[in-house]
Structure 1
Amino acid sequence: MTRTIRTFGALLSIAVTAVGILWWTTPTSYPFGAADRIKVSLTHLLEHDVTGPMTVAAGIVGLVVIFGPGPLVRAGAVAELLFFGVVLSDAGIMIVLAYGMAILGPVALLVVVVMAAARRKAFGLVGITALAVLVVADTITGFGALSLVGRYLGNVAGSFASFGGRLSWTLANAAACAVWAVITMKAFRTGEPPRWIRPESADKWGRIVTIGAAMCPLPYALYRLTWLTPWPTDSDITGPLSADTRLQGLLLAFAALAGAVLTIGLISRWGEVFPRWVPIFYGRPVPVRLPVIVGGTVAGICCLASPGLVIDSVMRGQPVALLLWPYPLWGALLAAAVLAYWLRHRSAPERFRVGPS
């Protein structure tokens, strides 16, 4: 284990110990428990006098094992990973991902269109003219498309502002879990690699798990698309949906569908070479680390959201929620798909380096 990783682990453990002491001794500082606004978590069932001592113990154990011998580091790293990945995790991390993609996705699409228009002057002139016509028509007819988008963005911004403090703990826990995930991988990376991780083997099982991972977000996409119909499938909806709520459903469905399409890229040609619709980089090799980091991050988010979802489904007696949000299966399949992609391409880094086409 490198000195940098040990330093990060030590600093993290010190911070975790301090936070645990704060929660244990100052109940008002505790962000979880019965009063927690995010109910899809294990910590929703735990109060400060339980989680506080556990967090202190996690910090102390982290300090002990980070400088210990190999077997101690491996056992301690797994324990820390389970603590941050199960006990302190919650589905709020998926809220950040879903709404982040719902906002940034259309922006990215607009950037792609603008960049494509810039490369072809005639196409660009047509696109700009069409956009201007739509804006003028929206203003004259009073359809309100621009104000609709403004209301939607305002609703999202207000929600994030309201949950900002709570979600900061979600993100902090995700960061701690990521550090211990790296430490765990480093600790176990010893010995002769098994046969199943060879590129020819990864090519076979990788296609199966990739297709499975791509199918996982589809039920959620269909669920949100029903918000565009007179029959929205949501038990919390009691009246007609407003236009901005329908737009929210459309964008969330778009984010889920985009995730499915990007997952298929792990076994497609355009997962190796940027396609023509990608501005600036099209025709150039895709750097191996890009899909690995992005896909691995989403897989980790799904795994972090899984314990809370399972617990909430059991507590509410609604196991069908696991079919709509199959985070446990999605996280495992996507992680395997990303691993297979990396195993197939790691032996030829020069071929996939970003550079002139």
Structure 2
Amino acid sequence: MTRNIRTSGALLSIAVTAVGVLWWTTPASYPFGAADRVKVSLTHLLEHDVTGPMTVAAGLVGLVVIFGRGPVVRAGAVAELLFFGVVLSDAGIMSVFAYGLAILGPVALLGVVVVAAARGKAFGLVGVATLGVLAAADTITGFGALSLVGRYLGNVASDFASFGGRLGWTLANAAACAVWAVIAAKAFRTGERPRWIRPDSARRWGRIATIGAALCPLPYALYRLTWLTPWPTDADVTGALRADTRLQGLLLAFAALAGAALTLGLISRWGEVFPRWVPIVHGRPVPVGLPVIAGGTVAGLCCLASPGLVIDSVLRGQPGALLLWPYPLWGALLAVAVLAYWLRRRAVPAGR
């Protein structure tokens, strides 16, 4: 284990210990429990006098583990992963990710169009011209598309603001889980490699996992697309939907569909070489780390959201929620698919 990893693990463990002491001794500082607005979590059932000591123990164990060797590091890293990935995790991480993607996705697309236009690419010039025509039509007709987008962004910002610092704890837990995932991966990277990780084997089982993972976000996409119809399938939605709410459903559905399409790239040619329709980088090899980091991040977020979703669906007597948001299955399948992609690409020169 490198010095940087040990340092990161030690600093994290010290911070975790301090937070645990704070929660244990100062009930008002505890962000979870019965009063927590995020109900889809295990910590919603645990108060400060339980979670506080557990967090202190996790921090102290982390300090022992990070400076240990062999079996101590492997067992301890798994224990820390279970604590941050199950006890402190909540499904709020997927809300942050989904809404962030729904906002940043169109912004990123606009940025690509503008950059392509600045470089004289046909794709960018056509895109900018199209945006100009739509803006002119919006002004002439008085449809108010720009104000619609503004209301949508305002709604999302208001939702995030209403949760205050609670989502900060969600992100902090995800960061701690990521650090221990790296430590665990380093600790288990020893011994002889089995046959199943060979590229030819990875191609076979990876294809099955990838197709399964691509199917997982489709129920949610269809669910949000119903917001464009007179019959929105959402128990929280009553009466006629405003235009900005329909736009929100469309963007969330688009994010889910885009995720499914990108997942299939793990077994497609365009997942190894940028296709011709991609501006600027078309024809170049796809860096191995790009799909691995992106797909691995989503897989990790799904796994973090899984315990809370399962617990909430059981307590509410609504197991159907696991069909709409199949995070446990999605996270596992996507992790396997990303692993297979990495095993294949690392052994074969990019673009071949």
- Preserved CA contact (<8 Å) 2:214 2:263: yes
CA distance 1:130–1:191, change in 2 (3 Å): closer
How far off is 1:122 after superposition? 6.5
- Preserved CA contact (<8 Å) 2:13 2:63: yes
* Structure 1 counterpart of 2:106: 106
* Structure 2 counterpart of 1:253: 253
* Structure 2 counterpart of 1:41: 41
Q: Secondary structure of the equivalent of 2:347?
A: coil
* Structure 2 counterpart of 1:198: 198
User: Normalised by the size of structure 1, how large is the TM-score?
Assistant: 0.95
How far off is 1:271 after superposition? 0.6
User: Normalised by the size of structure 2, how large is the TM-score?
Assistant: 0.96
Aligned equivalents of 1:123, 1:70: Cα separation in 2: 54
How far off is 1:301 after superposition? 0.2
* Structure 2 counterpart of 1:19: 19
CA deviation profile, 1:132-191 (whole Å, cap 9, x unmatched) = 332222123221111000000111112222224111100100010011111111111111
Aligned equivalents of 1:32, 1:49: Cα separation in 2: 11
Q: Secondary structure of the equivalent of 2:231?
A: coil
Unaligned runs of 5+ in 2: none
CA distance 1:239–1:86, change in 2 (3 Å): same
How far off is 1:347 after superposition? 1.8
**1:1-357 correspondence to structure 2 within 5 Å:** 1-118=1-118, 120=120, 127-348=127-348, 351=350
How far off is 1:64 after superposition? 1.0
Aligned equivalents of 2:298, 2:221: Cα separation in 1: 16
Q: Secondary structure of the equivalent of 2:165?
A: helix
Which deviates more, 328-337 or 133-142?
A: 133-142
- Preserved CA contact (<8 Å) 2:123 2:279: no
How far off is 1:274 after superposition? 1.0
How far off is 1:117 after superposition? 4.1
Aligned length: 352
Moved over 6 A (4+): none
How far off is 1:123 after superposition? 6.3
The residue type paired with residue 177 of structure 2 is C
CA deviation profile, 1:296-347 (whole Å, cap 9, x unmatched) = 0000000000000000000000000000000000000000000000000112
CA distance 1:344–1:140, change in 2 (3 Å): same
Aligned equivalents of 1:315, 1:306: Cα separation in 2: 14
Aligned equivalents of 2:124, 2:194: Cα separation in 1: 53
Q: Secondary structure of the equivalent of 1:346?
A: helix
Aligned equivalents of 2:319, 2:156: Cα separation in 1: 28
Aligned equivalents of 2:43, 2:343: Cα separation in 1: 36
Unaligned runs of 5+ in 1: none
Which deviates more, 80-89 or 142-151?
A: 142-151
Q: Secondary structure of the equivalent of 1:107?
A: helix
CA RMSD of aligned residues (A): 1.6
Aligned equivalents of 2:74, 2:246: Cα separation in 1: 48
The residue type paired with residue 305 of structure 2 is A
Aligned equivalents of 2:329, 2:123: Cα separation in 1: 43
